Structure 1
Amino acid sequence: MKYAIRDRSFDKYEDFFKSVLLLLRSLRTYFSKIFVAIIASITFSACQSEEKIKFEQYYIGGKELYEQNCANCHQKDGTGFKELYPPIVGSEYLKDKSQVISIIKNGLSGEIVVKGKKYNQPMPANHSLTNLDIAEITTYIYAEWQGEKKITDVKEVENTLK
């Protein structure tokens, strides 16, 4: 009889311990899956080429700089603003990257024609932008609206602005 009482009291705790054990197994499985996912993401990102990583950095930085410095007039989507500011999308100016770099840094005044429409609002010079800033903006513009998948190097900007 004594053993039966002891066994029954143990049965109450046995269910509790089984539940805790089941919980621990579930957590171990869950955390091991997370651990594998973290290791996989680190491995895959390590497999990206340095050039691709640099392109992504320039693209993201360029997008942010474009939105801060250019989007007010040219809009976030590059379509320009009515008859005041020309579009970047489909612009003939994109055919000459050195000209684009120069315009970003030094501005532009006088009448221009973009996609058959005349524009005559001056684009102010932006001397506060560094050569790296201009390289990033140019990388973003050409990637976003020309499909170019390479960076505009800072040296290219330096050579253009000499």
Structure 2
Amino acid sequence: MINRFTFGTICLVSMLYFLFSCNSDLSVETMQYATNGQKLYVKHCQNCHGANAEGLGKLYPPLTDVQYLNENRSKLACIVKNGMSGEIKVNNVTYNQQMPGVPELSAVDIAYVLTYVTTYFGDSKTHFKKEEIEEFLKNCK
């Protein structure tokens, strides 16, 4: 008999596979990254940004602004790793809450979660590569 966690994981992977299999533009590797990223998103991001990345009112921004995601691609890894403070404008709404970073995430973990966010909630068809994230992290301010 399988336990709840195993059953839930199987259901989640099956659901994501089905979801992404309908999109032939995504490679198998991108789908794998997004699946791994979904688990990390639930653990580290969902509480504030929501299950569907819709944000929380005027407190926490949504992660669905494709323009913001595309224009700030090189900054996203630093935001995940180190957090951010100060004003941010997303979908023409200004937010000013401090976001804590998740410093324990490795470069590949950050690649996973950003791939999930940008493919599932954005319009990206490719994944972040570990080497790309490592380069971005070298340039954090």
TM bracket (short chain): 0.7 to 0.9
User: Does residue 82 in structure 1 map to residue 82 in structure 2?
Assistant: no
Q: Which has the larger radius of gyration?
A: 1
Partner of 1:60: 35
1:117 and 1:148 mapped to 2: Cα distance? 23
Deviation, 1:114, is: 1.4
Identify the match of residue 153 of structure 1 among 119, 122, 129. 129
Maintained 8 Å contact 1:93/1:100: no
Secondary structure in 2 aligned to 1:78?
A: coil
Q: Which runs of 4+ in 1 moved over 6 A?
A: none
Q: Which amino acid aligns with 1:133?
A: D
Maintained 8 Å contact 2:66/2:122: no
RMSD of Structure 2 on Structure 1 (CA): 1.5
Maintained 8 Å contact 2:81/2:103: yes
In structure 2, runs of 5+ residues without a counterpart are: 1-25
Deviation, 1:52, is: 2.9
Distance 1:52 1:113, change over 3 A: closer
Report 1 or 2 for greater relative contact order, CA contacts < 8 Å, sequence distance ≥ 6. 2
Normalised to the residue count of structure 2, the TM-score between the two structures is: 0.74
Partner of 1:106: 82
The structure carrying a bigger helix percent of its residues is 1
2:47 and 2:128 mapped to 1: Cα distance? 23
Maintained 8 Å contact 1:93/1:99: no
In structure 1, runs of 5+ residues without a counterpart are: 1-50
Deviation, 1:92, is: 4.1
Normalised to the residue count of structure 1, the TM-score between the two structures is: 0.65
Q: Which amino acid aligns with 2:40?
A: L
